[in-house]
Amino acid sequence: MWILLGLLVGGYALSSVFRSSVEGDFDSRLRSYLDEMIAAAEPDAQGAVSLQNRFADPRFERVYSGWYWQITPLGPKGPVTRDAQISRSLWDRTIRITDSNKSRDVTWGHGEGPDAQRLRFVAQRIEFPAPPGAPKGAMRVYSFLVAADVTELEAEIAKFNGTLFWSFAVLGLGLIGAIFIQVRIGLQPLDRVSAALARIRDGKAQRLVGRFPAEIQPLATELNSLIDYGTEVIVRARTHVSNLAHFLKTPLSVLVSEAHEHPGPLADTVLRQVGSMRRQVDHYLARARAAGAVNVLGSRTNVRPVIEDLSRVLSRIHAGRDLVIDVDCPRDLAFRGERQDLEEMVGNLIDNACKWAHARVVVSARGNGAAQFELKVGDDGEGLDAEERTRVGARGERLDENVPGSGLGLAIVRDIARLYGGSLTLDESPLGGLEARLALPAIA
């Protein structure tokens, strides 16, 4: 738009300058012919004016040529057109003035000539001494006028404007094409940077890779440094949280040991409180680890190997019950997050299903086409009714104290899933028991 605006303003300015130049040259020629005509004029004894030398330009002799001169006597009441002397080119016509503008002793204006020609004229008032016998001091006054058809002038200006228009049109198309090429080709490195950042965000890459122009390379280097720094800070923070958790577990273990060695009401209270503290430490440790992992760019985890590994481990743990764990998951399905967080969530769900299942647990995972995948863990146990499903998984609440565990498994799964923008829902399983449905971000 700026190019088009600049071309329009520039074209208008050039056209105006050219018109002014051509009109100035045209007026200069008219004034030159007028001066030449005045110089050749001589009064005669009869009170008229004669031209001693005819103009050299033959256009004043050719009928209706567009170039005319006219000498009109000026009486007390104005021009006496019937006594006007005219050029041969006017034949028997005179020039009719349509508008005029006086500048010092010269008058400029426009008029109408033969065949309705549009004329530009210049005129000047000239005084001659009165013939012999006239009162002393009397003067003869005439209006000397030279006019020319402006059609030739307008044609020359129109020709220039046409050339100017097409020249600027080609120039504008060339400039717009050059800008288009510059944007499409010159900014391709930035498109590559944007695509690389999208790959990092989606977990398909961990750094900006590839060769960039010298102008873009510093940006790529700084972005890689920023990614490395962010990852380092998050890893350091998670390490500190883990160290703190392990530091707390040691004195808690000492308290448990002392309580077992000295049974009694106080020992029972200590054991209950230590158990609560352990559950809270495990819970917030899992949340802190997951919260840090969410902010790590480029995280990618294949889902099937995690499910298969956890299924083998839990099958061995529950080997005495002869449980069958079926796994149905495509090999190319990937989770946009860290492996240990996926293991934490899936492990809790499968372990919970194994605790309540009679003989079979089914684990399946499929993409849902919305940049997410859904993982289902169902069992053939007793299941839960709708009210129990809303209560189970609440932080610290358990429905059966006889089954081992902290009671925080589903709550931890729900918290970690929310940190990743996912969700956990509980429903009735086709096997008759409980089915946990976990929605998590996927990598296409």
pLDDT for the residue 364? 92
Q: What was the pLDDT predicted at 55?
A: 65
Residue 28 CA to residue 12 CA, distance in Å, equals 24
**C-alpha span between 32 and 30 (Å, rounded):** 5
Lowest-confidence pick of 277-286, 287-296, 313-322 = 287-296
* Mean pLDDT (whole number) for 127-143: 74
Predicted local distance difference test score (pLDDT) of residue 396: 41
Per-residue pLDDT for 136 more than 70?
A: no
70 compared with 242, residue with greater pLDDT: 70
Instruction: Please state the φ and ψ torsions of residue 329, each to the nearest 5 degrees.
Output: -155, 130
In tens, the pLDDT along 255-282 reads 888 888 888 888 888 888 877 777 777 7
Mean pLDDT score of the chain, rounded to an integer?
82
Q: What's the pLDDT at 283?
A: 66
Task: Indicate the pLDDT class of residue 20, thresholds 50, 70 and 90.
Answer: very high
Residue 207: predicted pLDDT: 79
Q: Which of 68, 52, 72 is nearest to 60 (CA)?
A: 68
User: pTM for the complete prediction?
Assistant: 0.46
Other residues' Cβ atoms within 10 Å of the Cβ of residue 256:
16
Measured on CA atoms in the order 412, 418, 419, 422, is the torsion positive or negative?
A: positive
The pLDDT > 70 percentage for the chain reads: 88
User: b/e per residue, 139-153, with b = 16+ CB within 10 A?
Assistant: ebebbbbbbbbbeeb
Give the whole-angstrom CA distance, residue 332 versus residue 367: 10
- Residues contacting 328, CB < 8 A, separation 6+: 362, 363, 364, 365
Q: Which residue has the higher pLDDT, 403 or 209?
A: 209
Query: Of 203-207, 224-228, 395-399, which range is least confident?
Result: 395-399
- 374-429 tens-digit pLDDT: 999 999 988 888 788 777 755 444 444 444 444 467 888 888 888 888 889 888 88
pLDDT exceeding 90 applies to what percent of the chain? 24
Domain made up of 301-441: CATH architecture: 2-Layer Sandwich (3.30)
Structure confidence at residue 144 (pLDDT): 92
Residue 358 pLDDT exceeds 50: yes
Give the integer Cα–Cα distance in Å for 142 and 128. 8
Q: Which residue has the higher pLDDT, 371 or 111?
A: 111
Q: Which residues of 292-331 are buried (b: 16+ CB within 10 A; e: fewer)?
A: bbbebbbbbbbbbebbeebbeebbeebeeeebebebebee
Specify the higher pLDDT residue, 271 or 325: 325
| pLDDT (mean) for 86-102 | 88
pLDDT score at 395 = 44
How far, CA to CA in Å, does 217 sit from each of 186, 206, 221?
A: 14, 17, 6
User: What pLDDT is recorded for position 188?
Assistant: 82
Q: What is the pLDDT of residue 68?
A: 92
The 3-class secondary structure across the chain, one letter per residue, is CHHHHHHHHHHHHHHHHHHHHHHHHHHHHHHHHHHHHHHHEEECCCCCEEECCCCCCHHHCCCCCCEEEEEEEEECCEECHHHCEECHHHCCCCCEEEEEEEECCEEEEEEECHHHCEEEEEEEEEEEECCCCCCCCCEEEEEEEEEEECHHHHHHHHHHHHHHHHHHHHHHHHHHHHHHHHHHHHCHHHHHHHHHHHHHHCCCCCCCCCCCCCCCHHHHHHHHHHHHHHHHHHHHHHHHHHHHHHHHHHHHHHHHHHHHHCCCHHHHHHHHHHHHHHHHHHHHHHHHHHHHHHCCCCCCEEHHHHHHHHHHHHHHHCHHHCCEEEEECCCCCEECCCHHHHHHHHHHHHHHHHHHCCCEEEEEEEECCCCEEEEEEEECCCCCCHHHHHHCCCCCCCCCCCCCCCCCHHHHHHHHHHHCCCEEEEEECCCCCEEEEEEEEECC
Name the residue ranges covered by the structural domains of the chain. Answer: 2-157, 301-441
* Contact in structure between 442 and 299 (CB atoms under 8 Å): no
Separation between Cα atoms, residue 86 and residue 69, nearest integer Å = 6
